[in-house]
Amino acid sequence: MEYTFPTRYALAALLLGPALATLSGCNKNFLDENPKSILTPDNLYVDRAGFETGLYGLYNLVRNERSGTDGAANFLTFGAAFDGTDNGYSIFPAVSSNDQVFQDFGAVNTPLFAGVNQTWRYLYQLINAANTIIGRADDPKVSLSDADKGQIVGEARLIRAMAYRHLAYLFGDVPLNLVESTGSTIRTDWDRNPVAEVRKQMEDDFLFAEANMADTPPTENRMPRAMATHFLAELYLTTGDNQKAKDKALSVVRNPRYKLITARYGVNSKLPGTPFTDMFLDGNSLRSQGNTEELWVLQNEYLSLGGDFNIMRRWWVNRYDNITVGGKRPIAISAEYGGRGLGRLGITRFGLDLYAPGDDRGSVYAIRKYYLYNNPASLPSKAKLGDTLKTTATGFEAVNSTNWPSTRKWDYAPPVATDVQNSSTYNDQIYLRVADTYLLLAEAQFQLGDAAGAAVTINALRTRAHAKPITAANVTLDYILDERSRELVTEEYRRYTLLRTNKWLERTKLYNKLSGPKITDRDKLLPIPQSVIDANLTKVMTQNPGY
């Protein structure tokens, strides 16, 4: 039996450790054989090629964060990132779904909810996959140069720390595991390590990655050193080490490899648009395509083995084809309007109203503000093709609002025109960009009492967007959070940002008219899955307060 691997990504199954034995079939003599065609950790992690194969599998697991291939990805994309915050809500919440949890909280947010369990399992699978690479690289029989080992282990430790970042923000104290799960290391007596201990391990991992990873990654689909430095800046803001946060953010912002996009480029550069929105167009997201702002891009490929897909268009492009005017549906699904969307998530009225006139980030190229009738089979009385239908410009966010404005960052049309109904997205997508680091820098400067420096940093983004510059007198923590929304709405993990700054409860209550009245202090953390508590047979694992 032989396996072939996609050129860009290996199979995530390679990272399941001992579970790979199940791929061998049911041969009763399997334990007595040494099958050369079966990939196991023991015969995979022996040289650079093997470790890089495993590393590609680890990256494939990371991509599940947006792929929607299981409940964990949906849960992270819905709630951990956007829903139930000051600038994000669910337009079409389904009963007992992830979006209902983060819209309604209360009785639907329980330790028995499937998404909680799936997310926990996914993140610890990610951690175990990273632990496998990290631990096996220390085997003296492994053929790895010091440089190769540092690079590969650095990437694995970076990804492990990113997984613990999710866990700490979502659940608070969590078990800290740094070794590969094998038969001899399976435990039923886990403790929940305090968040401070988890974050200390994250710091150690990020620092190791920063010291050992290359500034320019070995291949474009792998992460550069700056990813570790960026997350160190965020971590130090979380722990109150503001000078360290400033130093780390500055080292990324000043790195000549990264520059804000300030001029039109790439596909559609001759058509109307803005430098800001050019980054999100299919064919423009990668560094090799001209995007000097990206820190890392999730790569996908249309209908190819290992190419994968993501669900950002599915969740963020509204159900415009369901808009009804005079009993008719005059807007048909088209590439021009972002392809087929399910509209499960939307920007709150507060988030939409943050943009002043002239700000490119709130322009028609960034946010859908109108449609033109394009469905000749369903035109309202006296209407004609090309008539304008504006999206809802006033009033607060509401459920089932098919005409609510939507972000255009995740618009996508497949290369096959007849496949416009496909609700998945196959384009490369920005995961993190240096504009985020600018805003971490501004926050660190503000916390250190340098409001003037923070204003200069923020103005680099505002100038790029043709927004009016600000002065030091404008800079407050709330203003920085507003600016993060203007720049990064639907990109940043907004819940994490607000929890980190201790602003989630306050700002969600103020600005989210659906979730705000329902949330309580309890909801700052999610419940530990009941299945995890039940599986810890020989030691009591405590539940988060209020569940």
pLDDT tens for 224-280 read: 999 999 999 999 999 999 999 999 999 999 999 999 999 999 999 999 999 999 999
Instruction: Look at residue 31 in the predicted model and tell me its pLDDT.
Output: 41
Residue (of 302, 361, 313, 307) closest to 337 by Cα position: 313
Eight-state DSSP code of residue 30: G
Dihedral (C-alpha) 229, 235, 237, 243: value to the nearest 10 degrees?
-50
Instruction: Look at residue 483 in the predicted model and tell me its pLDDT.
Output: 98
Q: Which residues pair with 432 in a beta bridge?
A: 296
* Phi, psi at 171, each rounded to 5°: -120, -10
Residue (of 89, 80, 86) closest to 481 by Cα position: 86
How far does CA 532 lie from the centroid of its chain? 25
Q: Which residues of 142-162 are buried (b: 16+ CB within 10 A; e: fewer)?
A: eebeeebbbbbbbbbbbbbbb
Question: Which residue is listed with tokens 């268009």?
Answer: 313
Residue (of 329, 315, 317) closest to 389 by Cα position: 329
For the chain, which domains are there?
A: 1-22+38-205+493-536 (1.25.40.390), 311-430 (no CATH)
Name which residue leads in pLDDT, 524 or 26. 524
Residue (of 382, 262, 269) closest to 328 by Cα position: 382
Instruction: Look at residue 21 in the predicted model and tell me its pLDDT.
Output: 29
Is there a contact between 310 and 424 (Cβ–Cβ < 8 Å)? Answer: yes
Residue 439 pLDDT greater than 60, yes or no: yes
Q: What is the pLDDT of residues 153-198, one digit of tens each?
A: 999 999 999 999 999 999 999 999 999 998 888 899 999 999 999 9
Check: pTM over 0.85? Answer yes or no.
yes
Residue 5 pLDDT greater than 70, yes or no: no
Element (H, E) at 354: none
d(CA 362, CA 78): 22
Instruction: Look at residue 40 in the predicted model and tell me its pLDDT.
Output: 82
For residues 318-329, average pLDDT: 97
pLDDT-wise least confident of 25-39, 71-85, 124-138: 25-39
Instruction: Look at residue 314 in the predicted model and tell me its pLDDT.
Output: 87
Instruction: Look at residue 424 in the predicted model and tell me its pLDDT.
Output: 79
* pLDDT tier for residue 414 given thresholds of 50, 70 and 90: confident
For residues 302-309, average pLDDT: 77
Instruction: Look at residue 72 in the predicted model and tell me its pLDDT.
Output: 63
Eight-state DSSP code of residue 80: I
Residue 31 DSSP SS3: helix
Neighbour-count burial of 545, counting CB atoms closer than 10 A to its CB (0-12 exposed, 13-18 middle, 19+ buried):
exposed
Instruction: Look at residue 9 in the predicted model and tell me its pLDDT.
Output: 33
388-390 and 370-372 strand pairing: antiparallel
pLDDT-wise least confident of 36-40, 218-222, 452-456, 510-514: 36-40
pLDDT-wise least confident of 26-35, 242-251, 282-291, 469-478: 26-35
Written as one letter, the residue type at 455 is A
* pLDDT tier for residue 417 given thresholds of 50, 70 and 90: low
User: Which value, in Å, is the radius of gyration of the alpha carbons in the chain?
Assistant: 24
Instruction: Look at residue 471 in the predicted model and tell me its pLDDT.
Output: 98
Residue 335 pLDDT greater than 60, yes or no: yes
Residue 240: CB partners within 8 Å, gap ≥ 6? Answer: none
Residue 6 pLDDT greater than 70, yes or no: no
Dihedral (C-alpha) 459, 461, 465, 467: value to the nearest 10 degrees?
-30
CB atoms within 10 A of CB 184: 6
Q: pLDDT above 70 covers what percent of the chain?
A: 92
Written as one letter, the residue type at 23 is L
Is there a contact between 85 and 498 (Cβ–Cβ < 8 Å)? Answer: yes
